Amino acid sequence: MFLHRRATIVGLSALTLFSHHAQASVFTDILNAFKSSRDCNSCHGILIPALQAASNTDTDFVGNLTALCTVAKLADNDVCIGDFALAGPILAHSLRGMSSNGTTATKLCSAVFGLCQPPPVTPFTVPLPPPTFDSHAQPVPLYGIHQPFKVVHMSDVHVDRSYSAGADANCTKPICCRHFADEANPPREPAGAFGESRCDSPIDLAQSMLGAIRQVAGDARFAVLTGDVVAHDTWLANRSEVTVDLDSWNDEMLGGLPFKIYPALGNHDTSPVNSFPKTGTHSNITSQWVYDLEETGWQPWIGRAAGEQEDHTSGSYAIVVPETNLRVISINTMFWYRQNLWLYDTDTPIPDPNGILAFLAHQLQVAEGAGQRAWVIGHIPPGVSDFDHDSSNYYNQIVQRYKGTIAGQFFGHTHKDEFQIAYSDFSNRNAATADSIVWIAPSLTPTDGNPAFRVYDIDPDTFDVVDSKTYIALILGRDSYGPLISDGGLKPTDPLDAPFWHAVTEAFVANDTAFQLYNARKSRVNIGDVPACTGACKNQTICQNQAARSQDNCVSRLSFLVSHSHFRFPLHLPPSRESI
Ligand SMILES: *[C@@H]1O[C@H](CO)[C@@H](O)[C@H](O)[C@H]1NC(C)=O
Ligand SMILES: *[C@@H]1O[C@H](CO)[C@@H](O)[C@H](O)[C@H]1NC(C)=O
Ligand SMILES: *[C@@H]1O[C@H](CO)[C@@H](O)[C@H](O)[C@H]1NC(C)=O
Ligand SMILES: *[C@@H]1O[C@H](CO)[C@@H](O)[C@H](O)[C@H]1NC(C)=O
Ligand SMILES: *[C@@H]1O[C@H](CO)[C@@H](O)[C@H](O)[C@H]1NC(C)=O
Ligand SMILES: *[C@@H]1O[C@H](CO)[C@@H](O)[C@H](O)[C@H]1NC(C)=O
Ligand SMILES: *[C@@H]1O[C@H](CO)[C@@H](O)[C@H](O)[C@H]1NC(C)=O
């Protein structure tokens, strides 16, 4: 994410910043190429000297990138040095495997530099068996017969174990509130105990969430955690820090919540960030140590068999929730993530890296055969622009085949309180074609809005969502949580399924007041605390809600750049809300 943002700035501004620096080296060639980079063709042009630079040692390549970053002042020097020391060798590895003019290069130019549109989807038919069971032989579960049970959804906790109250909350690094070596003295804005909008979650904020969950949902059946436990200190987060972060949060959840937790991996839950090498990648950088670590770390909740499965399936596993007919399938989405730089090391398309699509399809097939319903949980929602278009298309083929079995999909990553809808026909999106719903939970980390978690009411027979409540902490009111929104009040007698949410998007088009309310609640703030979202912004937002397939999300190259620019919401809410 941060690498992406900085790299985008390179494409836009390096030309002026570098015009006075004449250095006779590959470095200069790359800079010269940047100077003329305006479009996709010129990005392919940049890759010619970049490929040449990557043909040297990793050390030289990292030196070149770091120099680019520091000379252009794309980030503080320590951030440039740390980020590129970690990510540089991966980028070099991929550049050595690609040609400068192929589809892989276009994908890299799209994902990292924002200079190309994503290429058209490479057609691929995911091999899927036809339905195996006689639908008349299976009892069809009925909705609304029995009392719902509660499920908690936590996401993107990003706990910063080096957060220091009193450290500067206003700095120029990706996260603040740590005593960095170059900290202003005295601090411009001393950090409070429970978090700040430019900082990740202090341990006290994370503990206060666990306490609030015990109060409002201590009787929940289970919880899901959709990834990103580690802080955004991408330039520092090495294997030992990530290990401590993952282990500590597992311990804190185990001690703090009296029910089972089904977790999924996030793109920050490894080191280097976003680094999930494909099986067979020739490198000494791996993420197998993360899978090994969570085999043990998640075992108190998922048990030994699913733990072993997680370890052998690159972080994915499935489990039938005890005493229910619900199969929870937890998938590692990072082999479909455009910021995973390992994905660009060949010109040959690989439709299913590490077999995650095959794993998902197999688990859904088993669920269908057993008459179970299934939830898919993961980190990166399938419709966002950073979800590779090819992978999202193939994923959606599986969703369409098994939509009768999938009762819901649960993701995080965006830090926003939102949703996406899948359709049987994306060229004809209406309530009749809406057929699967993606629930995207807001983050605990306060970097994109007030800290939050969700509690669902779940029908115990169909496993549909009956109601969804988001609880938020008022940062200014410190550790108090209050209910922000209950969707079920809108339509209490039917499940909150894909046709329901499609109707909500139609209401947004017709009723701008409702839309602006939703847009503010996405960040857990009040109308007025975010700019009104009108015109193209509104179209884009509604289009994204109507697109659980990334090729259909209306994100153009330009709007992609805008949506990824740094923007901090003010976090001012009146202290009048109901508190718990
Ligand atoms: C860039 O890499 C080249 C080797 O290709 C090396 O000679 C040069 O010193 C590097 N430049 C910087 C600024 O590190
Ligand atoms: C890419 O460039 C190589 C070498 O210049 C050439 O052989 C190849 O045909 C080109 N491929 C495409 C897709 O243009
Ligand atoms: C944060 O720091 C910047 C740079 O020193 C300064 O311009 C800005 O006013 C500070 N913001 C606050 C709220 O103190
Ligand atoms: C990992 O990072 C921590 C904190 O930045 C540091 O103290 C430690 O020395 C690093 N470990 C290694 C092996 O580099
Ligand atoms: C991989 O190898 C390089 C050089 O051979 C070394 O600098 C680096 O520390 C190694 N990384 C890991 C994770 O072992
Ligand atoms: C529009 O939405 C607002 C907010 O939900 C609601 O109060 C209002 O009644 C709606 N207007 C119409 C005409 O439905
Ligand atoms: C938004 O989309 C509608 C069609 O749904 C279109 O008529 C309108 O021109 C679009 N507005 C903008 C600002 O793109």
List the residue whose alpha carbon is closest to atom 11 of ligand 1: 64
What confidence tier does 140 reach under pLDDT thresholds 50, 70, 90? confident
Which atom number of ligand 4 is nearest to the Cα of residue 239?
1
Q: Is 93 annotated as a binding residue?
A: no
Residue 244, ligand 4, Cβ within 6 A: no
Highest-scoring range by mean pLDDT, 33-47, 142-156, 479-493 = 142-156
pLDDT tens per residue across span 34-79 = 656 678 888 898 899 889 999 999 999 999 889 888 887 888 999 9
350 C-alpha to ligand 5 centroid (Å) = 27
Residue 284, ligand 5, Cβ within 6 A: yes
**Contact assessment for residue 228 and residue 190, using Cβ atoms and an 8 Å cutoff:** no
pLDDT tens per residue across span 529-573 = 889 999 999 999 999 999 999 999 998 754 433 333 322 222 222
List the residue whose alpha carbon is closest to atom 12 of ligand 1: 64
d(CA 321, CA 326): 6
What is the three-class DSSP state of 388?
coil
Q: Which ligand is nearest to the CA of 69?
A: 1
Question: Which pLDDT does position 530 carry in this prediction?
Answer: 85
Which residues, at least 6 apart from 546, have a Cβ–Cβ distance to it below 8 Å?
Answer: 420, 421, 423, 429, 502, 505, 552
Which residues, at least 6 apart from 140, have a Cβ–Cβ distance to it below 8 Å?
Answer: none
Distances (CA, A) of 452 to 205, 206, 249: 11, 10, 17
371 C-alpha to ligand 2 centroid (Å) = 51
**Contact assessment for residue 199 and residue 191, using Cβ atoms and an 8 Å cutoff:** yes
User: What's the whole-number mean pLDDT along residues 450-454?
Assistant: 93
Question: Which pLDDT does position 362 carry in this prediction?
Answer: 98
Question: Which pLDDT does position 35 carry in this prediction?
Answer: 56
Q: Which ligand is nearest to the CA of 508?
A: 6
pLDDT tens per residue across span 320-362 = 999 999 999 999 999 999 999 999 999 999 999 999 999 999 9
List the residue whose alpha carbon is closest to atom 1 of ligand 3: 170
Kindly state the DSSP code that residue 143 receives in the 8-state scheme: T
**Contact assessment for residue 209 and residue 453, using Cβ atoms and an 8 Å cutoff:** yes
Question: Which pLDDT does position 18 carry in this prediction?
Answer: 30
Q: In sequence order, what are the beta bridge partners of 410?
A: 377, 439
Question: Which pLDDT does position 458 carry in this prediction?
Answer: 97
Which position has the higher pLDDT, 312 or 114? 312
% the chain with pLDDT above 70 = 85
Question: Which of 259-273, 474-488, 544-558 has the weakest average pLDDT?
Answer: 474-488
pLDDT tens per residue across span 393-433 = 999 999 999 999 999 999 999 999 999 999 999 999 999 99
What confidence tier does 17 reach under pLDDT thresholds 50, 70, 90? very low
Q: Residue 324, exposed/middle/buried by CB under 10 A (0-12, 13-18, 19+)?
A: middle
Question: Which pLDDT does position 113 carry in this prediction?
Answer: 78
12 C-alpha to ligand 7 centroid (Å) = 28
Question: Which pLDDT does position 565 carry in this prediction?
Answer: 32
Question: Which pLDDT does position 186 carry in this prediction?
Answer: 93
Question: Which pLDDT does position 236 carry in this prediction?
Answer: 97
H-assigned helices in 55-155: 58-71, 77-97, 103-108
Q: Residue 310, exposed/middle/buried by CB under 10 A (0-12, 13-18, 19+)?
A: buried
88 C-alpha to ligand 5 centroid (Å) = 12
**Contact assessment for residue 407 and residue 326, using Cβ atoms and an 8 Å cutoff:** yes
User: What's the whole-number mean pLDDT along residues 152-164?
Assistant: 98
282 C-alpha to ligand 1 centroid (Å) = 24
Question: Which pLDDT does position 299 carry in this prediction?
Answer: 98
**Burial readout 509-518 (b: 16 or more C-beta within 10 A, e: otherwise):** eeeeeebbeb
Which atom number of ligand 2 is nearest to the Cα of residue 99?
1
d(CA 507, CA 275): 40
Whether the CA torsion 344, 346, 350, 355 is positive or negative: it is negative
Question: Which pLDDT does position 413 carry in this prediction?
Answer: 97
Q: Which of 549, 543, 479, 553 is nearest to 515 (CA)?
A: 543
Asked whether residue 144 carries a pLDDT value surpassing 60, the answer given is yes
**Contact assessment for residue 282 and residue 90, using Cβ atoms and an 8 Å cutoff:** no
Structure tokens at 26: 């590959």
**Contact assessment for residue 114 and residue 557, using Cβ atoms and an 8 Å cutoff:** yes
What is the three-class DSSP state of 467?
strand
User: Average per-residue pLDDT in the chain?
Assistant: 87
Question: Which pLDDT does position 134 carry in this prediction?
Answer: 61
Helix and strand element counts for the chain (H, E) = 16, 12
pLDDT tens per residue across span 356-391 = 999 999 999 999 999 999 999 999 999 999 999 999
pTM over 0.85: yes
List the residue whose alpha carbon is closest to atom 14 of ligand 4: 238
Residue 576, ligand 4, Cβ within 6 A: no
Residue 489, ligand 7, Cβ within 6 A: no
d(CA 80, CA 72): 10
Residue 26, ligand 1, Cβ within 6 A: yes
Which atom number of ligand 1 is nearest to the Cα of residue 60?
2
Question: Which pLDDT does position 5 carry in this prediction?
Answer: 31
185 C-alpha to ligand 3 centroid (Å) = 13
pLDDT tens per residue across span 271-308 = 999 999 999 999 999 999 999 999 999 999 999 999 99
100 C-alpha to ligand 2 centroid (Å) = 8
